[in-house]
Amino acid sequence: MKKQYNVLIVGAGNIGAFFDTKSSKNILTHANAFYRTEGFNLLGFVDVSENKGKRAATLWDVKYFSTLEDAFNTNEIDVVSVCVPDDYHYDILKKVSNFPIKLVFAEKPLAKNLDQASEIIRIYGEKNIRCLVNYSRRFVNEFNILRKNILEGQYGNFVCGNGYYGKGILHNGSHLIDLLRYLISEIKDFKILSHSFDFYDDDPSVSAILNFENGGNFVMQNVPCSNYTIFEMELLFQYKRIKIVDSGFKIEIYDVLDSEVFAGYKNLYKVKEYETELNKAMLNSVINIYNNLNNDEELKCTLEDGYKDMSICEKLKVEI
């Protein structure tokens, strides 16, 4: 019998509760990931909306608590998932730190600005509270393999790339920033191309050229989310072309081969296309949490990672 950890989810929205059910093929919510993972006992939800909180509690056959105090007064809670809207991340992260918890699983972005993020890092460090930030593609095995191959030099030097996103540089663009930092290297500088306020009044979607410490550049382009939802990127290396499409549910691999038409020329040819397990990223993140609590496995996306992603997004916003 595995050691059991009690879990509370703060925020009964889609990512916390409603994107899937117990019988869903895809594991898309915090609730389902904890429900499916041996070693966790999902206690219930906290939400300011009694209607949403009770619907989530009914769906997952757990309790609804109107406040954090109500939940902690009657339960020993080890892990708290923070799934509230972006504007409330800082307040909730700070508030839960006042309770005796072991770890927080936080939706991105960490906070709305760097001062808030710095304070959370300070508080959690002083109180020895662990925190995993949910930049989901870090928890997908296929992306981990890509990273290993890139870092080992199997694809040669990174040359350039481009990608598309919308719905705010901090809200969604930080996913792209985090994945680039994870796969390529740290971003050293950038040049703004354009921006649009396609969803949030205080979080523009920014187009920019990013330059990396290890060389190469990447053009990130904003596509207004009123048109459609898109998250894709293309990475060109000396010996490979990698296309990440369909939000990361699919990866295409191209090799450099002799041209089939022009003698003496090299072209890129698609040699492999495969599905990723992005639909299990949430499950893998919860497994990472269990292994961290039980075996001190390294957390795959720390508060410091979340801060670095935010710092780049904030610099991009300041330059507008």
pLDDT band at 144 (very low <50, low <70, confident <90, very high): very high
SS3 label, residue 319: coil
CA distance 251 to 242: 7
Which of 315, 247, 316 has its CA nearest to residue 281? 247
Output the pTM of the full model: 0.95
User: What is the Cα 200 distance to its own chain's centre?
Assistant: 19
CA distance 118 to 222: 28
Helix (H) or strand (E) holding 103: strand 103-107
Instruction: Say whether pLDDT at 320 is over 80.
Output: no
Residue 315, pLDDT score = 95
Instruction: Say whether pLDDT at 276 is over 80.
Output: yes
Report percent pLDDT > 70 for the chain. Answer: 100
Instruction: Say whether pLDDT at 37 is over 90.
Output: yes
Mean pLDDT of the chain: 97
Identify the residue whose tokens are 């509760």. Answer: 17
Q: Which pair of tokens denotes residue 174?
A: 């930080």
CA distance 151 to 165: 25
Do residues 176 and 190 touch, judged by C-beta distance below 8 A?
Answer: no
DSSP state of 279: G
> For residue range 205-249, what is the model confidence (pLDDT) as tens digits?
999 999 999 999 999 999 999 999 999 999 999 999 999 999 999
> For residue range 160-179, what is the model confidence (pLDDT) as tens digits?
999 999 999 999 999 999 99
DSSP state of 298: P
Could you tell me which residues are beta bridge partners of residue 40? 5
The domains of the chain, with CATH numbers, are: 5-135+281-302 (3.40.50.720), 141-276 (3.30.360.10)
DSSP state of 311: H
CA distance 39 to 131: 18
CA distance 159 to 122: 38
Instruction: Say whether pLDDT at 112 is over 90.
Output: yes
Amino acid at 24: S
SS3 label, residue 138: helix
Residue 112 dihedral angles phi and psi, to the nearest 5°: -90, -20
Instruction: Say whether pLDDT at 31 is over 80.
Output: yes
Instruction: Say whether pLDDT at 7 is over 90.
Output: yes
Q: Which pair of tokens denotes residue 193?
A: 């191309």
Residue 209, pLDDT score = 98
Instruction: Say whether pLDDT at 318 is over 90.
Output: no
Identify the residue whose tokens are 């996913």. Answer: 175
Residue 155, pLDDT score = 98
Do residues 172 and 232 touch, judged by C-beta distance below 8 A?
Answer: no
Instruction: Say whether pLDDT at 319 is over 90.
Output: no
Residue 17, pLDDT score = 98
Residue 15, pLDDT score = 98
